[in-house]
């Protein structure tokens, strides 16, 4: 077993308040396609299992008994059909059939079940939730092996984005942009896109997770691209926004507000910084920019206290990234969701620590379903220049996103080489 796997297991065992409970972590099974064919969605082991094994192993189990301090990995025997159809080979580990007697020998003890659930184990939801919080927390700081993969993923992502400036011109489809970007990810060593690539042009750039369509760019469109290459299960998550031909002054101002706020937020990614504070500081800065542009009215701090920023910045400032596009996001163990509406929806609430990798991705958008909502219009009647908004309702939006490594000193931007000037 690799050194990094055994140190991860040691760290997890030391961090989980198991007392006398067993820990069982399942890899899961592939999900069949709905049409009941013999095909499945592509299989990946559950991330919690993968972290402890680095195996893609259908039905695999890794188990730990704190009484004997031993981790065991149970894997199924590869079948002839799997060898013939998939080219599968036998993975290392104990036979899966040995798991049932292992568990039976410990009957009566509580079981914390992480990863994919197993039908033969009764779930203790409260125990599982508590252990999952601690497990997430233990794996938040990236080890050297993870950072190596993440850096490679960021580098392949950077190669993809390097193709875009020459491609972004009038009459190019969102699909064409996706194809060129993803092709370059693969050429640069990416194993797959880390999540569904987002390409939104014109008003589509204000749809937060827009799926690329056949729409073709027009001069003056915003083009928002949010994509990342994955290598060995580790993904980058990067967003850049472009303008086809020249931005007009309004677009330029909007872009500069987001860029400035993003760079300030990156500089605040230091050990001990509270995520919610980062988010709110960024919101106040962007609202100050919107006030200066004449889009909003009032004191930036007071506007954010009233949650008026959510009209234009309706999502959180980012999340953890690495082993999957959300990785170990969530709450610091023991915390509960912040009751404030604009903080309750954040993907995390925790202080940053060295080794964490987070996205910083502020955005400002003109989103018709939010800006045309009569309740919001009434609530924020005096906070917004609504007649100006109406003239920009279909402008789209700007998001800028980098992946930041928190260190013991200054933050390191892992995706800094992807240009951000308009
Ligand atoms: N990259 C998409 C997201 O973070 O939601
Ligand atoms: Mn993201």
Query: Cα of 226 to ligand 2 centre, how many Å?
Result: 8
What fold is seen in the domain 3-138?
Answer: Creatine Amidinohydrolase; Chain A, domain 1 (3.40.350)
User: Tokens 């917004």 sit at which residue?
Assistant: 384
Query: If you take atom 5 of ligand 1, which residue's CA is the nearest one?
Result: 209
**Is the model's pLDDT at 29 over the cut of 80?**
yes
182 lines ligand 1 (CB under 6 A): no
Please give the Cα distance from 219 to 246 (Å, whole number).
8
CATH code of 144-413, in short, is 3.90.230.10
Residue 239 alpha carbon, nearest atom of ligand 1: 1
**Is the model's pLDDT at 279 over the cut of 90?**
yes
pLDDT in tens, 40-54: 999 999 999 999 999
Q: Which ligand is nearest to the CA of 211?
A: 1
Instruction: Look at residue 229 in the predicted model and tell me its pLDDT.
Output: 98
Write the CB contacts of 17 (distance below 8 Å, at least 6 apart in sequence): 130, 131, 134
Find out whether 347 and 337 touch, Cβ atoms under 8 Å: no
Please give the Cα distance from 387 to 414 (Å, whole number).
41
Instruction: Look at residue 243 in the predicted model and tell me its pLDDT.
Output: 98
Tokens at residue 336, please?
Answer: 């509960």
> 38: pLDDT confidence band, cut at 50, 70 and 90?
confident
Tell me the C-alpha to C-alpha distance, in Å, between residue 14 and each of 27, 50, 210.
22, 19, 42
Domain with CATH 3.90.230.10 in the chain: 144-413
Domain with CATH 3.40.350.10 in the chain: 3-138
Strands of 238-243's sheet, edge to edge?
198-201, 222-227, 238-243
Please give the Cα distance from 422 to 417 (Å, whole number).
15
pLDDT (average), residues 25-32: 96
Show the CA angle centred on residue 148, arms to residues 143 and 151, nearest 5°.
120
> 128: pLDDT confidence band, cut at 50, 70 and 90?
very high
Residues at Cβ < 5 Å from ligand 2 ion: 237, 359
Taking the mean position of all CA atoms in its chain, how far away is CA 394?
27
Instruction: Look at residue 122 in the predicted model and tell me its pLDDT.
Output: 87
Which of 193, 401, 403 most suits a substitution to test ligand 1, by most atoms within 8 Å of the C-beta? 401
Query: Cα of 123 to ligand 1 centre, how many Å?
Result: 31
> 123: pLDDT confidence band, cut at 50, 70 and 90?
confident
Query: Cα of 357 to ligand 2 centre, how many Å?
Result: 12
Instruction: Dump strand ranges (E) for 173-235.
Output: 192-193, 198-201, 222-227, 229-231, 234-235
146 lines ligand 1 (CB under 6 A): no
Closest to 71 (Cα-Cα) out of 164, 166, 6: 6
- Provide the whole-model pTM: 0.96
Residue 318 alpha carbon, nearest atom of ligand 1: 4
């Amino acid at each position: 077993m690799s050194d990094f796997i055994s140190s991860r297991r040691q760290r997890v065992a030391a961090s989980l308040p198991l007392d006398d409970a067993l820990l069982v972590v399942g890899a899961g099974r592939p999900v069949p396609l709905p049409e009941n064919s013999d095909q499945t969605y592509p299989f990946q082991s559950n991330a919690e299992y993968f972290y402890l094994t680095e195996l893609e192993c259908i039905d695999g189990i890794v188990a730990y008994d704190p009484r004997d301090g031993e981790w065991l990995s149970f894997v199924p025997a590869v079948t002839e059909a799997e060898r013939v159809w998939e080219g599968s080979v036998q993975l290392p580990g104990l036979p899966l059939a040995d798991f049932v007697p292992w568990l039976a020998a410990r009957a009566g003890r509580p079981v914390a079940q992480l990863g994919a659930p197993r039908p033969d184990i009764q779930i203790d939801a409260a125990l599982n939730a508590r252990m999952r919080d601690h497990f997430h927390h233990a794996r938040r700081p990236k080890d050297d092996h993870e950072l190596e993969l993440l850096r490679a993923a960021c580098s392949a992502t950077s190669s993809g984005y390097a193709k875009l400036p020459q491609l972004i011109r009038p009459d190019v489809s969102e699909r064409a942009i996706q194809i060129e970007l993803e092709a370059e990810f693969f050429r640069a060593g990416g194993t797959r896109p880390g999540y569904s690539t987002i390409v939104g042009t014109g008003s589509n750039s204000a749809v937060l997770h827009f799926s690329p369509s056949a729409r073709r760019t027009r001069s003056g469109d915003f083009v928002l691209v949010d994509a990342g290459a994955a290598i060995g299960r580790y993904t980058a998550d990067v967003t850049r926004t472009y303008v086809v031909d020249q931005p007009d002054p309004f677009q330029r101002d909007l872009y500069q507000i987001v860029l400035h706020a993003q760079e300030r937020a990156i500089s605040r990614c230091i050990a001990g910084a509270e995520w919610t504070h980062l988010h709110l500081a960024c919101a106040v800065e962007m609202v100050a920019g919107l006030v200066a542009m004449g889009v909003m009215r009032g004191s930036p701090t007071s506007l954010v206290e009233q949650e008026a920023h959510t009209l234009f910045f309706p999502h959180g400032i980012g999340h953890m990234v690495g082993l999957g596009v959300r990785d170990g996001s969530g709450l610091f163990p023991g915390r509960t969701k912040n009751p404030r509406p604009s903080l309750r929806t954040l993907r995390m609430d925790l202080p940053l620590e060295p080794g964490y990798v987070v996205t910083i991705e502020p955005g400002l958008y003109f989103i018709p379903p939010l800006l045309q909502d009569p309740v919001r219009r009434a609530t924020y009647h005096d906070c917004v220049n609504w007649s100006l908004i109406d003239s920009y309702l279909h402008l789209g939006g700007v998001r800028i996103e980098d992946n930041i490594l928190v260190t013991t000193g200054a933050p390191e931007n892992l995706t800094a080489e992807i240009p951000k000037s308009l």
